[in-house]
Amino acid sequence: MDVQTPEKSLDFFGGGNRMGDINGKLVTTPNLTPDEATGIGKWTQDQFMRTMRTGVKPDGSVFMFPMVRATYLTDLELRSLYAYLRTVPTINKAEVANDTYADAANGSRGRQLYYKYECVRCHSTTDSGVVSVLGANEKYPEDSTLVDVILNNHVYFPDSFMPMFNGHVSTDDAMQLAAYVRELGKKKGS
């Protein structure tokens, strides 16, 4: 990647750059070119804007840190960004697998969901995350409040970059996630 002149980078906007998440696992940047098979070529402007606002892609997957929701961009800026991305050269580039968490399938349903919804990439399972979840037991003693924070984080933290899970994550899954966050919080004291 040409940091000084990004547009001169090999496969500019074609993705494939490797970046670390909060745990040092590698995340591959996605293809943002208008390629219909491997990029965002099938996305409508509305889908693009919704994805950038919510952090949830049209296929239901969520952004992986270091990509975050564009809470700071106006609708005009997002429409302009979409229009610009439609003009970059199309690159058909197969997605490179991201580093996985091999033990993600082990443990409680909440733990499995914590990895499925990519929570681990920002929050970690230790106190080292972008925003630590280990204090949630004290901050949100009621389960219903913690579930609401998970589903509607943008209400509690308007500038949050966390994907907007309401409508994407079921209440049952949010309850399982809350239980796992509580489990992580208990480890903090040990």
pLDDT tens for the chain, 190 residues: list them: 777 887 787 788 888 888 888 888 888 888 999 999 999 999 999 999 999 999 999 998 888 888 888 988 999 999 999 999 999 999 998 777 778 887 788 889 999 999 888 898 888 888 877 888 888 989 999 999 999 999 999 899 888 888 989 998 999 999 999 999 999 988 765 4
Amino acid at 109: R
Exposed / middle / buried, residue 33 (Cβ in 10 Å: 0-12, 13-18, 19+): buried
Residue 130 zone, left/alpha/beta (φ > 0; ψ -120 to 50; rest): alpha
pTM reported for the whole predicted model: 0.78
Q: 18: which 2 tokens?
A: 């490797």
Domains detected in the chain: 10-85 (no CATH), 109-188 (1.10.760.10)
Pairing of strands 26-28, 18-20: antiparallel
